[in-house]
């Protein structure tokens, strides 16, 4: 008899039939479920999915989103180690457990004075972030130019409240202040299945700071070399037990010496990639489940996602955007509100998918939409 599993978070992935077929091929009978409150935003909603706020009794789940990680933490209905679950909700714990295994992680500053000394004496920058949250909420960088704002930014990151956090069942655990690692930034999805690790995708990113908030504006699917895969395998061996079945999403920095420094992790799939994956030649999730790696073919450039983001809060006044050629997705129109620190997927004004050479910071300038199309808005 096939092993029955629940894929919890249908809206987080695309190509559901292909994914179910892939799990079936490795002896698992998979069923998709999703929480009801996302149904109205989910254009691929299917009658084949089960809509529920809770995991069905006596089932084993693979969480695909933050909401379902919360449910797995609550009910223990998943084949995922306590370490991986805890690391998904505590960057401090993530850094500590990896560091214990000899893996380089960002330095954590236990006091504001230590952070100030690092900025002033070592010519460094720090990043302030909520310890247990996701999607860039209250994340800010601090250097010598805005050092006087450090305490205020820590207080804000310590006390974040919004509807998403409440809906997803996430607890705000205070602020974390760490060194800001410089280098090339990447993001990766992997699939860990009882000791076997497969790459879903590797993305190289271009990140810009908007009012001190790091925002990903360009994401490109790139090949994964043996060194990268081996280093990510080490992280997974620390976080997962041999019998675990889980997706894993990492953000990391490639330092000047080639060492990879993990900065974030969650035992789910990465978000905001549906537009990009929709243009892939095969289903990247299904490929990884059966042990295949998506083949990056760069003869005509890398498959690239351009995120057009706002640089100020306000109401869209002109939506005649100058978008790049490619497959276009426009999410914000005249009259829609946009925030000045667009760190979440929902903040994107538009997305374009195209083939392009490896991008640079200069390419990001054309993706920033400011006062020429956004009018002033004041909260009442």
Contact 77, 60 (CB under 8 A): yes
Radius of gyration of the chain (CA): 20
Q: What string of DSSP letters covers 36-58?
A: GGGGGG-TT--TTSEE-SSPPTT
DSSP summary character for residue 225: -
Contact 118, 277 (CB under 8 A): no
The dihedral region occupied by 371, where left means phi > 0, alpha psi between -120 and 50, and beta the remainder, is: alpha
pLDDT at 107 over 60: yes
Binned at pLDDT 50, 70 and 90, residue 261 comes out as very high
pLDDT at 161 over 80: no
Contact 203, 188 (CB under 8 A): yes
Whether pTM exceeds 0.75: yes
pLDDT at 289 over 90: yes
Helices (runs of H) and strands (runs of E) counted in the chain: 11, 19
Task: Give the per-residue pLDDT at 38.
Answer: 80
CA angle 261, 263, 269 (to 5 degrees): 115
Report long-range pairs for 296-300 (Cβ below 8 Å, ≥24 apart): 296/221, 296/222, 296/223, 298/222, 298/223, 300/355
Q: In terms of DSSP bridges, do strands 368-369 and 302-310 run parallel, antiparallel, or are they unpaired?
A: parallel
- The tens digit of pLDDT for each residue in 208-247 reads 998 888 999 999 999 999 999 999 999 999 999 999 999 9
- The mean pLDDT of 107-134, rounded to a whole number, is 88
Q: What string of DSSP letters covers 108-140?
A: BPSSHHHHHHHHHHS---EEEEESS--TTTT-E
Alpha-carbon distance of 201 to 288, in angstroms, equals: 9
Alpha-carbon distance of 243 to 246, in angstroms, equals: 10
Binned at pLDDT 50, 70 and 90, residue 44 comes out as low
Token output for 210: 């908007």
Question: Quick check: helix, strand or coil at residue 80?
Answer: coil
pLDDT at 134 over 80: no
Task: Give the per-residue pLDDT at 130.
Answer: 85
């Amino acid at each position: 008899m096939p092993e029955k599993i629940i894929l919890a978070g249908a809206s987080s992935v695309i190509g559901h039939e292909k994914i179910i077929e892939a799990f079936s091929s490795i002896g698992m009978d998979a069923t998709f479920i999703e929480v009801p409150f996302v149904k109205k935003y989910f254009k691929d909603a299917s009658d084949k999915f089960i809509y529920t706020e809770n995991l069905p009794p006596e089932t084993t789940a693979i969480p695909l989103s933050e909401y379902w990680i919360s449910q797995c933490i609550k009910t223990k209905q998943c084949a995922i180690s306590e370490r991986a679950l805890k690391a998904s909700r505590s960057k401090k714990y993530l850094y500590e457990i990896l560091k214990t295994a000899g893996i380089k992680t960002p330095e954590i500053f236990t006091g504001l004075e230590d952070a100030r000394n690092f900025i002033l004496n070592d010519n460094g920058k720090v990043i302030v972030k909520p310890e247990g949250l996701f999607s860039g909420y209250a994340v800010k960088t601090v250097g010598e130019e805005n050092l006087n704002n450090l305490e205020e930014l820590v207080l804000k990151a310590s006390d974040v409240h919004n509807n998403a956090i409440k809906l997803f069942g996430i607890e705000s655990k205070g602020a974390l202040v760490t060194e800001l690692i410089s280098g090339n930034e990447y993001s990766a999805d992997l699939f860990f299945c009882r000791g076997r690790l497969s790459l879903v995708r590797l993305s190289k990113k271009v990140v810009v700071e908007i009012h001190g908030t790091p925002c990903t504006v360009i994401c490109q699917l790139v090949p994964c070399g043996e060194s990268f895969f081996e280093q990510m395998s080490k992280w997974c061996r620390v976080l997962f037990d041999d019998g675990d079945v889980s997706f894993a999403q990492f953000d990391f920095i490639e330092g000047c010496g080639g060492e990879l420094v993990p900065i974030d992790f969650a035992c789910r799939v990465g978000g905001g990639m549906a537009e990009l994956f929709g243009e892939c030649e095969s289903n990247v999730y299904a490929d990884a489940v059966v042990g295949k790696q998506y083949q990056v073919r760069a003869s005509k450039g890398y498959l690239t996602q351009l995120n057009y983001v706002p640089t100020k809060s306000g109401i869209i006044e002109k939506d005649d955007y100058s978008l790049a050629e490619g497959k276009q997705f426009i999410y914000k129109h005249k009259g829609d509100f946009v925030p000045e620190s667009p760190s979440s997927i929902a903040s994107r004004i538009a997305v374009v998918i195209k083939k392009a050479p490896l991008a640079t910071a200069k390419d990001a300038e054309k993706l920033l939409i400011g006062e020429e199309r956004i009018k002033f808005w004041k909260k009442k």
